[in-house]
Each structure stands twice: as structure tokens, then as C-alpha cells.
Amino acid sequence: ILMVHYVTFLLEVPPPSCLYEGFHLSYSDKELLEREDRGESQQEILRRIAKDLPIYTRTNSGAIRFCDRCQLLKPDRCHHCSVCDKCILKMDHHCPWVNNCVGFSNYKFFMLFLLYSLLYCLFITATDLKYFIKFWLNGLPDTQAKFHILFLFFSASMFSVSLASLFIYHCWLVCKNRSTLEAVRAPVFRHGTDKSGFSLGCSKNFRQVFGDEVKYWPVPVFSSLGDGCSFPTCLVNLDPEQPPSPIGPIPTTKSAAEGRQFPSKPLRESQSRLLTTTPSWSDNEGHCVPGASNPIMIIEHEA
């Protein structure tokens, strides 16, 4: 029980200002945006700010995502929570059970919270089962304990079923490297929507959330890879003058090569390690090929 309460405490999302200061507009940039009309001149200002930032996902209209309330260029997989009234890195959902958002900084803790709670409910169900059987066979004394045993068994059983369903679903999301929001609405890249754009294979997807060191996987210690602002992806732009790569399959047509594009931007060491290691690249729903080029960015406000 103490472990469950500890994990719940760790589910607190840190302030966004300390996570992605580079994506916030400076005071001078805000003044420029306020003075300019909402048109091409404003887009030029945003394009200048975003050109060195690892921003690859777009709005449905093909524009760089911008948050008017937080006054920042949204990092990839970042969304604004109307309940918390702030942008959350790699936002999964707003959880009413912990009264907070689940995102990059606490997704591992949320998974462990589900696991610990599920194991606790299964333990209660298993230990109460023999007394529940005696209750049906009228083998218990006629006291108020009968109601307690009945209530405890059904409560633990129902919570076990619901927690198991939720935990299995989030395990599937981890293996696919998707958030709940991305499972509902696929992220938009330059070539269009792609629900598997961030998937690097089951093993690498799992290590993005739980880290490289196995000893930290079952304990509530932050070990996720990256900074939450940029993510490695299997979507790349192939250079026709480069030799074929032996790591993954290469599209054979020009349209296929131009259709899967992902620009070259700086990644942290832990993220780059996911791209350079040799284990499985391919996922069941897409192919990953190393390579990169710079995109032509169209920037406007997100609807």
C-alpha cells in the first residue's frame, strides 16, 4: 500500500517551464507577434524560431503546432491540457484517479501504479477466495463478517478486471510507442498521418519508457530515455545518391521514398542510441530506414 501511495505521489508532473524553455517565445518575439497581423509575416517569425528546434509533427493543415495559451511552439507529442491549463510533454491523457496528467515525466510511474494496484487487488481476491467459498456453502458463522467478506471479494475482483484491462491496453501502447491520444488520432508528419511514426520496434519502444537498465524497471525511479521534447523516429527521407543501408528495407519507388520523410535534428545521447543499435528496427505496421534531410516547414497556429 505504501508503494502504491509513493507511486501516486511521483505522478506529479513537473512545471513545464523547466522542461522545454527553448520552445517558449521570448519577450521580444511575443512583441513581434503581437504587432504583426496574423499572416505570412507572423509565420516568418515563427519559422525563424522553429528552424533549429526538433519539431516534426504538424497540424492537420500541415502547419507547425503553436499553443496560444502557453505561448510556445509545441514539441512533438506535446498537447495542451485544458484541465491543468498547461502543455504536457508526450501527453497520454488526464487521469482523474490521480488528479493529474499522465505524460513523459510520469508515464513509467503510471504504468507501475497500475501494476502495483493490480497485484494488490489480485492478492486480496486470492486470499479472500476461500472465505467466499465458505460463505456460499454456509460454512461461516452468522456474523457481520459475512457482508465484509462478500463486499471485499466483489470489490477486489471488479477492480482486478478493470485494472487488468487498462494495464494490458497501456502495455500495448508502450510496445507500439503510442500515447492514448495518438492511438485515437494519429500524429501528422510531412507526408501525412502515420500512427507508427515513432515506433522503433517493441524492444526499443519499451526501453524508451523504462530505460536501458533492467534493475530500474520494477521500481518507481525515473529511468525513461530522452528529454520529452524530441523523439527518434523511423520516418526518414532517403537520399538517392546514398548507397542502400543494410539495416532496413528501402522503398523501391520514388513516391515511396519521398513519402516517408523525417528531418535531421539533434537528439540526446540516449535517444541516438536507440537509432544506432542493431536490434530489430521493423515494426509490424511500418519499415524504418536510417537517413535524414531538412524539411520545408509551413507554420501556423493549431486549430
95 catalytic residue (yes or no): yes
Name the residue among 37, 32, 58 with its Cα closest to residue 296: 58
Assigned C-alpha cell, 79:
498537447
Ramachandran area for residue 228 (φ above 0: left; ψ -120 to 50: alpha; else beta):
left
Assigned C-alpha cell, 63:
502547419
**C-alpha–C-alpha distance, residues 112 and 282, integer Å:** 27
**Adjacent-strand bridge partners of 192:** 189
Assigned C-alpha cell, 271:
535517444
196 neighbors 286 (Cβ within 8 angstroms): yes
Amino acid (1-letter code) at residue 42: Q
Assigned C-alpha cell, 259:
513519402
Q: Which one is catalytic: 78, 84, 87, 95?
A: 95
Look-up: residue for cell 491549463?
85
Q: Which residues have CB under 8 Å from 271's CB, separation 6+?
A: 225, 226, 230, 231, 232
Ramachandran area for residue 110 (φ above 0: left; ψ -120 to 50: alpha; else beta):
alpha
SS3 call for 142: coil
Residue numbers annotated as active site: 95
